[in-house]
A and B are shown apart, each in its own frame.
Chain A
Amino acid sequence: MSLDTPLLSLLLGLAAILAFAGANGIVLVWVERKVAGRCQRRPGPLHVGPYGLLQPLADALKLISKQLITPRRSDRLLYWGAPLLSFMPVPICFLPLPFLPEMATVRLNLGLILILSFIGLNSISLCLAGLGSNNKWSLLGAARAIAQTVSFEIPLLLAALTAVFMAGSMDLHEVMAAQGPWPWQWFGFMNPLALLLFLISAVAETNRAPFDLPEAESELTAGFHTEYSGMGFGIFFLAEYAYILIICGVAAALFLGGQQGPVAPGPWWFLAKMYALVLLVIQLRWTLPRVRFDQLLNLCWRWMTPAALLNILATMLVMLALKGA
Chain B
Amino acid sequence: MNSAAHIVYVFHLLVILAGGLVATRAVQKDRALVGLITAMFGVAGMYLLMNAPYLALMQLMIYAGAVGVLIFFAVMFTRPAQGQEERGRYLKRPLMAVAAGLLPAATLAAGAFLFIRQAKAQAPEIPVVQLGAGLLGRYALAFELISVVLFAAMAGGVLLGFERRRRR
- Chain A contact residues, CB within 8 Å of chain B: 73, 75, 77-78, 81, 108-110, 113-114, 116-118, 120-121, 123-124, 127-128, 130-132, 134, 139, 142-143, 146-147, 149-150, 153, 170
Contacts and interface: CB of A to CB of B under 8 A. Distances in A.
Given A113-B58, A114-B57, A124-B69, 10 more contacts: A73-B82, A75-B28, A75-B31, A78-B34, A110-B57, A113-B54, A121-B60, A131-B75, A150-B70, A170-B128
* Highest count of chain B CB atoms <10 Å: which of A78, A81, A120: A120
Contacts of A131: 30, 72, 75-76, 79
Contacts of A139: 76
Contacts, number: 76
Interface range for B: 20 to 34
B135 interface: no
A134 B34 contact: no
Give the interface SS of chain B, mostly helix, strand, loop or mixed: helix
Interface of B: 28, 30-31, 34, 37, 53-54, 57-58, 60-61, 64-66, 68-70, 72-73, 75-77, 79, 82, 128
A316 B52 CA distance: 27
A150 B66 contact: yes
A147 B77 CA distance: 13
A150 B69 contact: yes
B73 A143 contact: yes
A325 B60 CA distance: 40
A48 B86 CA distance: 54
Contact of A127 (B31, B61, B69): B69
Nearest to A119: B65
Contacts of B34: 78, 81, 128
Contacts of A132: 30
A195 B89 CA distance: 54
